[in-house]
Structure 1
Amino acid sequence: MKVCRRETFNAAHRLFVEGWTDEKNRSVFGKCSNPNYHGHNYILETWVEGAIDPLTGYVFDLGELKEIIRREVSHRFDHRNLNLDCPEFEGKNPTAENIAVVIWNLLRKSLPEHLKLSVRLSETENNWVEYDGH
């Protein structure tokens, strides 16, 4: 059985490779390489999978999952500049792919080991990434 908690956060970032010229960064990342950054209203779906507990009827308490997401993700990234404010992205280009991996790693450490975890992150209404640890 899989259960999901949906949360949102807002953050700014700039996609660029240090050492590339501005022209090269613009040719690869387009307007996402704006030197003054740009922002997104991210939608995060956190999916946990496991057996249904016969006593509670839960796979995992979604209230507890909500608090884990808020502690590990929302409080850390909401209304932040991912490039400048978040050490998790030091040396990493904060693409949706890398953001999803960082979030998965943050959440994984706070969940019981027997649960499978996957995260789905929407950067725009047309662009989604999904990561399950592989």
Structure 2
Amino acid sequence: MSNPIITKKYHFCASHKYGNADWSEEKNLEVFGKDYNTHGHNYILEVSVTGPIDQGSGWLVDLKKLGQIVKKYVVNVLDHSQIEEDIEWFKGKQPSSENILVWAWDEIAPRLERGTLHKLRLVETHSIYTDYYGPGQ
């Protein structure tokens, strides 16, 4: 029998600006278009955990504890931030959904007491989302 996967959603608002300091303004505008300007999103972060079901509780993960980890180390850090300016990890990196998920994985996965982080999904707009299954996937 395979293990179930449970997913919890979290919301945050953040702004970012794409740009490469080594490029001219023209090149930045050509590559990033409107995203070369500071802009924001109302993000949805979906955190999926898998693992065996605890026979005592019937759960594979304590959602309250999961929420405490995700809020403290990810949501509260990102919420109302200018990502590439306010968060040290993003200095010198593009504040893309892809990079946000790599960073978030490293913040969440080692802190889980039960279950294993299976997938992160970051919904940026109604038509764009990014999935990440962890390093090496």
TM-score, reference length from structure 1: 0.93
Deviation per CA, 1:48-75, whole angstroms, max 9, x where unpaired?
0111111110010111111111101111
- Do residues 10 (structure 1) and 30 (structure 2) align? no
Residues in 2 aligned to 1:89 and 1:58: alpha-carbon distance in whole angstroms? 35
Runs of 4+ in 1 over 4 A off after TM superposition: none
Residues in 2 aligned to 1:114 and 1:124: alpha-carbon distance in whole angstroms? 29
Residues in 2 aligned to 1:115 and 1:67: alpha-carbon distance in whole angstroms? 16
Partner SS state of residue 123, structure 1 = strand
Q: How far is 1:116 from its partner?
A: 3.5
Q: How far is 1:113 from its partner?
A: 7.2
RMSD (Å) for aligned C-alpha atoms? 1.2
Partner SS state of residue 109, structure 1 = helix
Residues in 1 aligned to 2:96 and 2:59: alpha-carbon distance in whole angstroms? 34
CA contact (8 A) 1:7 1:45 kept: yes
Q: Which moved more, 1:61-70 or 1:106-115?
A: 106-115
Residues in 2 aligned to 1:58 and 1:112: alpha-carbon distance in whole angstroms? 13
Mind listing any 5+ residue stretches in structure 1 that lack a counterpart?
none
Q: How far is 1:114 from its partner?
A: 5.2
Residues in 2 aligned to 1:119 and 1:15: alpha-carbon distance in whole angstroms? 22
- 2:58 is aligned to 57
Deviation per CA, 1:78-109, whole angstroms, max 9, x where unpaired?
00100111102012101111111111111112
- 2:29 is aligned to 26
- 1:92 is aligned to 93
What does 1:70-81 correspond to in 2, within 5 Å?
70-81=71-82
Mind listing any 5+ residue stretches in structure 2 that lack a counterpart?
none
